Chains A and B, each alone.
Chain A
Amino acid sequence: MRFLKLTEQLVLLALAHLGAEGYGVTIRREIEARTGRTVSTTAVYAALERLSRDGLVAAQLSAPIAERGGRARRQFSLTRRGAEMLQREREAVDRMWAGLDANPLFARR
């Protein structure tokens, strides 16, 4: 299967952190908080669309949250397949990184 785009990986990881359930806003903020980099809302939703098409993420309409401007929001959750994909991505990257610790290009932080 294909590789996951970076944004998609970040979204999946964020979902994992959020207890496997999150909204668009919360996912975006989680990524921003953890990585320090900004991902636009649009990009998050674009990633979510692709991920849901592939069955790595499941979506459902939640009941309107009781707060100002309450509306029915879509709630996203990490599927088992999504978790497996994430794992596989990680393994692939790890394998690429293997043996590069001693490489002078990569200074230890």
Chain B
Amino acid sequence: MNVARRQRHAPPRAARWLLAALLPRRARAEVLADMADEHRLLAESLGRQAADRWYRVHVGRSLIPALQMRWPFPDWRNPMDVAVGDMRQSLRRLLRAPGFAAGAVATLALGIGSTAAIFTLVDSVLLRPLPYPDAARIVAVGHSASGLDLGPVGQSWGTYVHYRDHGDAFDSFGLYQQAVVNLTGGGDPERIRIAMVTDSFFEVLGVEPALGRALTRADLAPGLGGDYVLLSDRLWRERYRGDPGILEATVQINGVERAVVGVLPPGFDFPERGIDVFMNLTEDPAAFTFGGFYLDGIARLRAGIGVQRAEAELQRLVPGLADAYADATPELLERSRLRVEMTPLKQLVIGDAATGLWALLFAVAIVLAIACANVANLFLVHAEHRTREVAVRRALGASRRALLRFFLSESLWLAAAGTAAGLAVARLTVAVLLRLAPDTLPRLHEVRLDARTILLAAAISALAALLFAVAPTLRHRRTDFLGTLRAGTRAVSGDRAERRHGELFVAAQVALAVVLLVASGLMVRSFERLARVELGFDGTDVLTAQISLPYRSYPDYASSAAFFQELLARLRATTGVTAAGAVSNLPLTASPFAEMPHLLEAEGRPRPTGEQLQLVRLKLVTAGYFEAMRIPVLAGRIDLLGATRPVILSEPLARRLFPDGEAVGRRVRRVAPDEQPPWATVAAVVGPVREQAPDRPPAEIYYVPLAESFAEPGFSPGFMTLTVRGDGPSSLWLDPLRRAVAELDSALPVSGVRSYDRILRAATARRAFTMILLAVAAAVALFLGAVGLYAVTAYGVGRRTREFGVRMALGASPAEVLRMVTFEGGGVVVLGLAVGAALALLTTRLLASLLFEVSPADPLTFLIAIALLAAVAMFATLLPARRATRVDPVRALGAD
């Protein structure tokens, strides 16, 4: 009966449901109950229908207020007042917990700062477009001739003119060629690097001189370059003190006066850092031949034409070369399989620097993740302390949004402070990195911390702040507030859910740290392997210096060769000098005069066909070189003065040319398309030398003596590097060297003077740089991980004091409690190690190109990394665990 009556008086279902859906949870019960009451009263006095009608109308009236309760916007309070009030309050709260705040800010600063610094590097070098207008349209234009075993080569005058005159894909097309010359006048004689360029060169790049005017075709003049030059900003400021009167002055290059017409803007760095003078590349139609690919080309693509299409278009012009040039026979064109190759200029500039930099960014991202995990943990712990406060607020009706605001305002302060500190750290780090970075890192001068990095840092910190704030609010939803309030601190042990969150974070940190440790470990081992590589020579304490003989004073092979012979004789006569020699260029150096590769054939062996011709490096050398660099003689004798045109082969070359045994005494000669070079006799075979890089196999080298009788056409001894070894450090021979040179020719500069050790270091500089940074990142990760682990364990122990007290009061020994704590902590660490090892196996594969003779899955490295981390983790767990054992059961039980 009661039931029947209550049912008769139930409010209309649809309307009730609608209202229930719209009302926010906090008000739902109350409002619906009140309305049900009124509905009942009305039904009793006015009848069911009137009551229902009233109810429905009332629901209609309640719609807007209900929505407003759900989303109180615009808030009845000025949102700005709310925000400011919240922020001020939370700041006060944070200042009352300085340990937590400082720790969080410092950790964030470390994570964000390092990430920002490396990102600056990556952004400046890899991501930002080159600093030329519309730089995406600039390409390097070269060729490959796979049929002749020729890798990437540049342009010849013939191909350049042909493409320029018949091609349609370019807005502008230019050539450049680098050289090293002597600069005199206005200061000490200096050897400088220059580039000879066509007038279209600067047009392609879209660069104009900052002072004066550009070079034009009208500036052409016979001789080396032209009579007009452009200076780099650096040369202008350093040698000529930034004097604007330079435009009226002349400079002497290789003895010839040339007028300065302009100065380029600062920071202009193409084709390389350190090009100080730009001269006109003389266009001599008589020299337009197909052969001679010693020039480099760049072009600006026409709008709308992509690289592939431009390549195809130029490729179509290749057969036409046969008609244009006598030396481009159709047979040669086909045999060589000449292909036009275009590379975006940015790719050319970046080279192979990308992998290393991405690896660094990856590493630093891991550090950031670990740092954030640490701070999140700290934040959870900090939030823990205020469970009661939060519970009271919730009981009084604070919504989840209010809770979120409560935590968010704190995390925003922390994130803001962490980011500000982090950016300061980043600034400092970038400055340090720039000083330590090897010169071989491209675009170094363009590196600067700018808006993009700051934006990234701000985005990271905003995300982090949100993450930190949301985590505790999610958890608090499930907490039983009244229970917490009543129980107070009498709860025996911490909430299981809280502990699990902390453990998850710890496992994640451990896993990430493993990845980083393994990566840096692999790099370290690579480096170590590299350091122990047998280079084939020994350059310690060898003094090296470069001498370039100007064409005017030494116009032929004989005069150049005579100069060096005389100089070396004087050096050898110096007391203390045990060996002195000269070579066209040293191993492990990149020379602007990159030797043109040559083809050789051996007498008595079948002449290699087109596909089998292999290229060797040809070097001019004197006997003293092998002695100075301690390159062992494996067979024969270094006697370069015989009448039989002696040459020396490096071991790999001897082995290939004469696989059946003795090379000494046999004859070889160069292969040239239209001539029959004379045979030369192998006088000796010397040990293999790692010529290009320590991690590349030893090269095939064909050593040709400097003696005048052995003049090879097209080969000039005008530029040689001296090597001097003696009893004592290399610096001892500097003065004698300069004096000897000055005695022979007072106007001749000696440059590039350095001990070979420096050259060796520079060759491995970039790898060393990457390795050091990775190791630092790994160390930081290890440190942060240990701190995090310690903090979580310590906090856990602190919360469970009562539990330990109970256990020990019930008879557990301190050792058992210790074991329990370490066991639980250890379980998490083991999980992290396992996950980390699996992750590492997957990701280190990406590092493969940076490694040398070390597998990305190298077991020894993995073992060491895991063991190290396990040891640190154990230590970080044991320390606070020991505190657990010292709990006084009586105190623990009695405290509240």
Please indicate which of the listed interface residues A2, A41, A69 has the most CB atoms of chain B within 10 Å of its own CB: A41
CB neighbors of A among B51-75 (8 A): 58, 61-62, 65-66, 68-69
Q: How many residues of B contact A (CB 8 A)?
A: 23
Q: Known A40-B58, A42-B62, A43-B65; judge A25-B77 contact (CB<8 A).
A: no
Q: Which of the candidate stretches B33-41, B226-234, B663-671, B824-832 sits at the interface with the other chain? A: B33-41
Is A5 part of the binding interface, using a Cβ–Cβ cutoff of 8 Å?
Answer: yes
**Is the pair B76, A42 in contact by a Cβ cutoff of 8 Å?**
no
Which residues does chain B contribute within 8 Å of A74, judged by CB atoms? 30
Q: How many residues of A contact B (CB 8 A)?
A: 18
**Is the pair A46, B38 in contact by a Cβ cutoff of 8 Å?**
no
**Is the pair B68, A2 in contact by a Cβ cutoff of 8 Å?**
no
**Is the pair B76, A50 in contact by a Cβ cutoff of 8 Å?**
yes
Is B31 part of the binding interface, using a Cβ–Cβ cutoff of 8 Å?
Answer: yes
Please indicate which of the listed interface residues A2, A24, A41, A42 has the most CB atoms of chain B within 10 Å of its own CB: A42
Give A23 to B68 CA distance when docked, in angstroms.
21
**Is the pair B58, A2 in contact by a Cβ cutoff of 8 Å?**
no
**Is the pair A5, B58 in contact by a Cβ cutoff of 8 Å?**
no
**Is the pair A45, B30 in contact by a Cβ cutoff of 8 Å?**
yes
Is B397 part of the binding interface, using a Cβ–Cβ cutoff of 8 Å?
Answer: yes
Give A68 to B19 CA distance when docked, in angstroms.
23
Is A30 part of the binding interface, using a Cβ–Cβ cutoff of 8 Å?
Answer: no
Which residues does chain A contribute within 8 Å of B27, judged by CB atoms? 42, 45-46, 49
Give A41 to B60 CA distance when docked, in angstroms.
11
Q: Which of chain B's residues has its CB closest to A38's CB?
A: B61
Q: Which of chain A's residues has its CB closest to B27's CB?
A: A45
Is B23 part of the binding interface, using a Cβ–Cβ cutoff of 8 Å?
Answer: yes
**Is the pair B31, A41 in contact by a Cβ cutoff of 8 Å?**
yes
Give A43 to B22 CA distance when docked, in angstroms.
13
- The DSSP consensus for interface residues of chain A is helix
Contact code string B66-94 (vs A, CB < 8 Å = 1, else 0): 10110000001110000000000000000
Please indicate which of the listed interface residues A5, A46, A49, A74 has the most CB atoms of chain B within 10 Å of its own CB: A46
**Is the pair A46, B69 in contact by a Cβ cutoff of 8 Å?**
yes
Checking A38, A46, A71 against B33 with a beta-carbon cut-off of 8 angstroms, the contacting residue is A71
- Distance (whole angstroms) from the CB of B89 to the closest CB of chain A: 15
- Distance (whole angstroms) from the CB of B171 to the closest CB of chain A: 66
**Is the pair A42, B397 in contact by a Cβ cutoff of 8 Å?**
no
Checking B33, B36, B38, B65 against A42 with a beta-carbon cut-off of 8 angstroms, the contacting residue is B65
Give A28 to B61 CA distance when docked, in angstroms.
13
Give A41 to B22 CA distance when docked, in angstroms.
14
Which residues does chain B contribute within 8 Å of A25, judged by CB atoms? 34, 37-38
Give A59 to B888 CA distance when docked, in angstroms.
45
Q: Known A5-B76, A49-B397, A50-B76; judge A41-B69 contact (CB<8 A).
A: no
Which residues does chain A contribute within 8 Å of B397, judged by CB atoms? 49
- Distance (whole angstroms) from the CB of A76 to the closest CB of chain B: 11
Q: Which of chain A's residues has its CB closest to B26's CB?
A: A49
Q: Known A5-B76, A41-B34; judge A46-B61 contact (CB<8 A).
A: no
**Is the pair A43, B62 in contact by a Cβ cutoff of 8 Å?**
yes
**Is the pair A42, B77 in contact by a Cβ cutoff of 8 Å?**
no
Give A24 to B33 CA distance when docked, in angstroms.
10
Which residues does chain B contribute within 8 Å of A50, judged by CB atoms? 76
**Is the pair A40, B34 in contact by a Cβ cutoff of 8 Å?**
no
- Distance (whole angstroms) from the CB of B52 to the closest CB of chain A: 16
Which residues does chain A contribute within 8 Å of B37, judged by CB atoms? 25, 69
CB neighbors of A among B663-704 (8 A): none
Contact code string A29-59 (vs B, CB < 8 Å = 1, else 0): 0000000001011110110011000000000
Which residues does chain A contribute within 8 Å of B69, judged by CB atoms? 42, 45-46, 49
Give A28 to B42 CA distance when docked, in angstroms.
14
> Could you write out 27 A-B pairs with CB less than 8 Å apart?
A2-B78, A23-B34, A24-B30, A24-B31, A24-B34, A25-B34, A25-B38, A28-B34, A28-B38, A38-B58, A40-B58, A40-B61, A40-B62, A41-B34, A41-B62, A42-B66, A43-B61, A43-B65, A45-B27, A45-B31, A46-B27, A46-B65, A46-B68, A46-B69, A49-B27, A50-B76, A69-B40
If A45-B30, A46-B68 are given as contacts, then 20 extra A-B residue pairs at C-beta distance below 8 Å, sorted by A number, are: A2-B76, A2-B77, A2-B78, A23-B34, A24-B30, A24-B34, A25-B34, A28-B38, A40-B62, A40-B65, A41-B31, A41-B58, A42-B19, A42-B23, A42-B66, A45-B27, A46-B27, A69-B37, A71-B33, A74-B30
Q: Which 4 A-B pairs have the closest CB atoms?
A: A42-B62, A43-B65, A40-B61, A40-B62
